Amino acid sequence: MGDQLSRDISALKEARKTKDVIVMGELWDEATSVKHHKKKIILVLSAMRHFAEALKKDGWRVDYQKLDDENAVKSFSALVKRAVKKHRPATLVVTEPSERRVRQEVEAFKKTLSIDVDIRADDRFIASHDDFSQWAEGRKQLRMEYFYREMRRKTGLLMEGDKPTGGAWNYDKENRKPASADLFMPAPKAFKPDRITSDVIDLVQTKFADHFGDAEPFRYAVTRKEAVKALDHFISKALPRFGDFQDAMLTGERFLYHSALSAYINIGLLDPLEVCQRAENAYLSGDAPINAVEGFIRQIIGWREYVRGHYWRGGENYVRQNYFENRRKLPAFYWSGDTDMACMREAIEQTREDAYAHHIQRLMVTGLFAMLAGVEPYDVHEWYLIVYFDAFEWVEAPNVIGMSQYADGGALGSKPYAASGAYINRMSDYCKTCRYAVTKKSEEGACPFNALYWDFLARNEMKLKDNPRLSQMYRTWAKMEKGTKLSYRAHARATLEKLDAGERI
């Protein structure tokens, strides 16, 4: 499948060049399950074509369908049924799909095909489904920090016997520095499209013209060789300062010290453990500090594994959860970037052009505004699934439904990530050029985040007042004068009415 582009995938572990056939297909149903960003479709299709060509050159028999082939089928089921009829195999071997929707389709093969179907675990992950279930069993609260420690022990990464290297499990307190524009920030390694990628770009421009986002310029890696070069570049150029500034945001600096490797890991061009070991080696050789390396490794063997466990544990209705009962439609400017809020405009325009924004732009700008404004969580989830090049439902849905929107009521995170404009001002330079004043609270020209923040806390007080991590904020709210409270809520109401009327914010 398009996110299984690894020679080491479990479905290929015992494959034989002399007898077996590898079936791959570009499928309309997958490209349009949601209206994916053009660059995301280009990335996956080009990487699939390059992977298939590499397999053929290595002597494998590959039955490959291009999206625009004559008589191309649209679904996995149709592709497999045609391949079974053509090749008459004894067994179909497949690595388990990463998403529930596709998993159900593949499970159905056991009933609809007249051959054996061998669905194998995806062992690119450190924690199996059983591993996560056993860890979660009996716990009142599932917290990533404790799961992450288990992953450290299991992998041996940054460990000295039973103790964490450096004496601490987590160096996050050192990783919250705001960045300044005079820093040298290396861009991720870029690659020039070859003939295969150029053909895919033309295909996407034609077939998916109405999809969100810009197709060009396209600079992402589409082969294992390119992805390794991108990893090398990050380790040597950006990792040493990744930790310090991983939460920072700067106008015009879209990547800062972030790796932008997530999509390559998610589709199989890079192995997650390999990436972590490279980062660990940089620390051991003295080329990167512990706070940077630990923070980077935690994102992969901690958070990435943790959200995957939540996705499968959450059940079929996980993406439909709506703890705050939010019903507002996603504002139109999430697609256009047509807003006077500088932070939102910067994140959305970047997303449209690059299919990328780093985790703080996602969580504490676009995600934060949606939660404060009371947007329907499923709509937010679908937007993230569409617009980002690394978004596959297993990793995107828990990050949005659980972390960003707190729509699961705290199953994943210990509190909603609510904040006023002060947070964005502290971690970015966006507020300097914004039409709205972050220092104003509820008067004319005030940053919309300020009033929306207090309005969010007020309207959800019955659900959140007993959360110990919000107790200070509710004490502050309780001490406010009645007139101040009314002013905040009136300003928030006016902003939300503008949203509902489709007026520019």
In CATH, the number for domain 333-501 is 1.10.579.10
Chain position carrying tokens 């110990």: 468
Instruction: Evaluate whether 185 touches 256 at the Cβ level (below 8 Å).
Output: yes
Residue 317 DSSP class:
T
Biggest distance spanned by C-alpha atoms of the chain? 80
Residue pLDDT, tens place only, 370-403: 999 999 999 999 999 999 999 999 999 999 999 9
Averaged pLDDT of the chain: 96
* pLDDT (0 to 100) of residue 173: 83
Q: Residue 97 has what pLDDT?
A: 97
pLDDT at 182: 64
pLDDT at 183 over 70: no
Q: Is the omega angle on the peptide bond into residue 217 within 30 degrees of 0, that is, cis?
A: yes
Query: Which of 383, 304, 298, 373 lies closest to 348 in space, CA to CA?
Result: 383
How far apart are the C-alpha atoms of 472 and 449, rounded to whole Å? Answer: 19
pLDDT tens digits along 238-248: 999 998 888 99
Domain borders along the chain are 10-120, 134-192+222-314, 333-501
3-state secondary structure 135-196: HHCCCCCCCHHHHHHHHHHHHCCCEECCEEHHHCCCCHHHCCCCCCCCCCCCCCCCCCCCHH
Higher pLDDT, 182 or 350: 350
Q: Which CATH class is domain 10-120?
A: alpha beta
Pairwise CA distance, residues 490 & 499, whole Å: 14
Residue 184: pLDDT over 80: no
CA 190 to chain centre: 20
Residues 34-64 have pLDDT tens digits of 999 999 999 999 999 999 999 999 999 999 9
Model pLDDT for residues 398-443, shown as the tens digit of each residue = 999 999 999 999 999 899 999 999 999 999 999 999 999 999 999 9
For residue range 457-477, what is the model confidence (pLDDT) as tens digits?
Answer: 999 999 999 999 999 999 999
Average pLDDT over residues 474-502: 97
Kindly report the pTM of this predicted structure: 0.96
317 burial class (0-12, 13-18, 19+ CB within 10 angstroms)? Answer: exposed
- 357 CA to centre of own chain: 9
Q: How many CB atoms lie within 10 A of CB 472?
A: 9
- How far apart CA 505 and CA 422 sit, in angstroms, is 18
Percentage, residues of the chain above pLDDT 70: 99
Percentage of the chain exceeding pLDDT 90: 94
The band of 181, judged by pLDDT with boundaries at 50, 70 and 90, is low
Fold classification of 134-192+222-314 is 1.25.40
Residues 6+ positions from 48 with CB-CB distance below 8 Å:
2, 5, 24, 26
